[in-house]
Amino acid sequence: MTNIKMPKYKNKIIWIVLSISIFLPNFVNAESSLIVRPQVGYGYMDSSSLSNNGSINHVGLRILLNTGENKRYGLEATRFHLNNAKSFGSLGIVLEQRLWNWFNMSIATIGYFNYKIGSKNPVGLMTNLGWEPNSYKNFKPFITYRNDIIFSEDIDIVYSISIGVTFVF
């Protein structure tokens, strides 16, 4: 039987390659890496601090990354327009999950900008509950009930329905 000796540096190279392959993400089994989600919505704002209850619409964009089969995280930017032509924006961090391949839910911490003239920019909490079918691989419509709770001088709440499309890259 022949006794073949490998140089010491080859053993180190094999160990390094095996170590790297163990800790690298499994790109072959990854569902996708980037999700872009434009959305529009219409609803009602219950505001005591703005003294302006009434209809509100919004348009926004989410950019999400997958962390597994049904969990995502990312950023959302939205522009709100009140019925009296006043508008304000929001930007926040979103955590999202899909259950049963159709039920979409998310929660976010949001900062609201230009909310009131001459005041600080308030923070808030946004939640979504809705439907997102798993019918197409790279293109999925969705509809959600959105609830924004804005911690201004008083607590203001926006109730709305959002519709949009999910693009998976």
Q: Is 13 within the bounds of a domain? A: no
Hey, is 33 helix, strand or coil?
Answer: coil
Number of domain units in the chain: 1
CATH number at residue 49: 2.40.160.20
Residue-range definition of the domain harbouring residue 89: 35-168
Q: Is 22 within the bounds of a domain? A: no
Torsion of CA 85, 91, 92, 95, to 10 degrees: 70
pLDDT at site 115: 82
pLDDT in tens, 59-70: 999 999 988 778
Contacts of residue 92, Cβ cutoff 8 Å, sequence gap at least 6: 75, 76, 108, 109, 110, 111, 126
pLDDT at site 139: 82
Sites in the chain below the pLDDT cut of 70: 1-32, 49-52, 117-119
pLDDT at site 83: 81
Instruction: Pull the structure tokens for residue 35.
Output: 């999700």
Pairing of strands 155-168, 35-46: antiparallel
pLDDT at site 5: 55
Q: Is 62 within the bounds of a domain? A: yes
